[in-house]
């Protein structure tokens, strides 16, 4: 019985140029996105200007388009946009990184227009744009330092109008690549833009002005992180106002910087309202859901208590976290820090507490999650 043919580079080369050329032409006739990829590859032989011209024509078409695209035609749009991004990154990025970065930024700047005219309930069109944002810094890495230094000037106007976080993500990934002089210039520009956003005016757009200020603060904090300047990060966090501060982010940075006492102060501050989610157990127990950040806060405080040399308080918090939530990970962490053989009595105590827990579906989920580990850990009764 003949072996199944495998699709490899060597096997395709062995087919010969004539057969491969025919296959490429046939597929290009059926597949518009593939045709654009092949056309861009052929243009590459003429130099980066030819590739850029192909990209520019497609970007111009996207910018001029006005018709609404129904859900059933969305897949073709995704294929077309994916091919365009591939040409910008692979073909133009290899030939002329500066031209590729400019086109990628132009592509991202037009995201909102595309999103508004495509029925993208599945989010697949947005995924293409997010993938382009993630890939752009890799292309920018090939730029000369003076070209990298010009990126903040291009990014500033885009950041202020970015409604989907695409430019914000690009900036977060680009900051580690920028020369120090460019970081200083960028930080100053961000600070100036921040001062120009006036929150003293009242009106229904207050939330939008605050959102823009927060975005500028985040960009400046990314620069502070790159410099290793915790105090600058904290000073920027204070500009958010007490009710909007991310106390966990500050506490984490103080901990990493070896300033555990300050980290403890921040982790114990009243948190800003976080994202509340409702699990199936919450639904069954008729509970309003829980704040996703609370377990993160408890784990971080445990880490800080260990860092300042208070293992007893850390262990007490591990138990309290489990007792309040029946979080199996909190219990495992608590057991791992007990003396040898003490975990058996602790498991009895934990299971007794779970059995008496007032929310029965949460308790049931805990027992199901720990059933296997319980059998392995607990000694067989006499």
Q: What long-range pairs does 317-324 form, CB within 8 A, spacing at least 24?
A: 321/295, 322/350, 323/353
Whether residue 298 contacts residue 316, with contact meaning beta carbons closer than 8 Å, is answered with: no
Mean per-residue pLDDT, 45-62? 87
pLDDT at 4: 60
Does the pLDDT value for residue 92 go beyond 50? yes
Average pLDDT over residues 261-268: 96
CA distances from 222 to 56, 159, 293 (A): 32, 14, 21
pLDDT exceeds cutoff 60 at 202: no
Gap between the Cα atoms of 312 and 346, Å rounded: 15
Q: What is the average per-residue pLDDT within 86-111?
A: 94
Over residues 54-81, the pLDDT tens digits come to 899 999 999 998 889 888 888 888 988 9
pLDDT, residue 128, reads 95
Please report which confidence band the pLDDT of residue 42 belongs to, taking 50, 70 and 90 as the band edges: low
Return the pLDDT at 37: 63
pTM of the model: 0.78
Residue 378: the pLDDT is 46
Question: Which residues lie below 8 Å from residue 194, measured CB to CB, with a gap of 6+?
Answer: 213, 216, 217, 220, 239
Q: How many CB atoms lie within 10 A of CB 67?
A: 5
For Cα atoms 318, 321, 325, give the angle at the middle one, nearest 5 degrees: 145
The yes-or-no verdict on residue 368 having pLDDT over 70 is: yes
In the block, tokens 């609370």 appear at 294
Report pLDDT for 20: 64
pLDDT at 380 over 50: no
Name the percent of the chain lying above pLDDT 90. 58
Are 362 and 326 contacting, i.e. CB atoms less than 8 angstroms apart?
A: yes
Give 154's pLDDT tier (boundaries 50, 70, 90): very high
Compute the mean pLDDT over every residue in the chain, rounded to the nearest whole number.
86
Mean pLDDT of 93-121: 93
pLDDT at 381 over 60: no
Rounded mean pLDDT, 183-208: 80
Share of the chain above pLDDT 70, in %: 84
Please report the pLDDT score of residue 379 as a whole number.
40
What b/e sequence results for 325-357 when a residue is b if at least 16 CB atoms lie within 10 Å of its CB, and e otherwise?
bbbbebbebbbeeeeeeebeeebeebbebbeeb
- pLDDT, one tens digit per residue, over 267-302 is 999 777 667 777 888 888 888 877 778 899 999 999
Strand ranges, E, within the chain: 276-277, 290-291
User: Looking at the predicted structure, is the pLDDT value of residue 208 above 60?
Assistant: yes
Is pLDDT of 204 > 70? no
């Amino acid at each position: 019985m003949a072996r199944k043919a495998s699709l490899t580079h060597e096997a395709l080369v062995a087919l010969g140029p004539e057969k491969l050329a025919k296959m490429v032409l046939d597929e290009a006739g059926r597949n518009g996105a593939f045709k654009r990829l092949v056309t861009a590859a052929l243009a590459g032989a003429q130099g980066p200007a030819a590739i850029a011209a192909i990209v520019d024509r497609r970007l111009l078409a996207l910018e001029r388009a006005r018709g609404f695209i129904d859900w059933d035609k969305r897949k073709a749009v995704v294929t077309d946009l994916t091919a365009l991004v591939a040409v910008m990154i692979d073909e133009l990025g290899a030939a002329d990184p500066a031209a590729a970065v400019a086109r990628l930024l132009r592509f991202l700047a037009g995201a909102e227009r595309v999103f508004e005219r495509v029925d993208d309930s599945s989010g697949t069109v947005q995924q293409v744009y997010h993938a382009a944002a993630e890939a752009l810094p890799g292309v920018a890495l090939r730029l000369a330092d003076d070209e990298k230094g010009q990126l903040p000037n291009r990014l500033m106007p885009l950041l202020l109008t970015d409604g989907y976080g695409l430019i914000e993500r690009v900036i977060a990934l680009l900051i580690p690549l920028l020369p120090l002089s460019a970081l200083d210039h960028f930080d100053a520009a961000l600070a100036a833009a921040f001062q120009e956003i006036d929150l003293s005016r009242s009106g229904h757009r207050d939330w939008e002005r605050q959102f823009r200020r927060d975005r500028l603060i985040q960009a400046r904090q990314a620069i502070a992180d790159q410099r290793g300047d915790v105090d600058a990060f904290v000073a920027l966090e204070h500009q958010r106002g007490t009710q909007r501060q991310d106390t966990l982010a500050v506490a984490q940075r103080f901990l990493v910087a070896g300033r555990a006492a300050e980290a403890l102060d921040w982790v114990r501050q009243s948190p800003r309202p976080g994202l509340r989610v409702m699990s199936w157990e919450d639904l069954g127990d008729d509970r309003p859901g829980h704040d996703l950040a609370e377990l993160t806060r408890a784990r971080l405080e445990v880490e800080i208590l260990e860092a300042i040399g208070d293992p007893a308080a850390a262990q007490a918090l591990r138990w309290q976290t489990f007792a309040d939530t029946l979080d199996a990970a909190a219990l495992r962490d608590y057991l791992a820090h007990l003396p040898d053989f003490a975990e058996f009595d602790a498991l009895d105590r934990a299971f007794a507490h779970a059995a008496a827990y007032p929310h029965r579906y949460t308790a049931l989920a805990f027992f199901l999650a720990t059933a296997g580990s319980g059998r392995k850990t607990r000694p067989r009764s006499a």
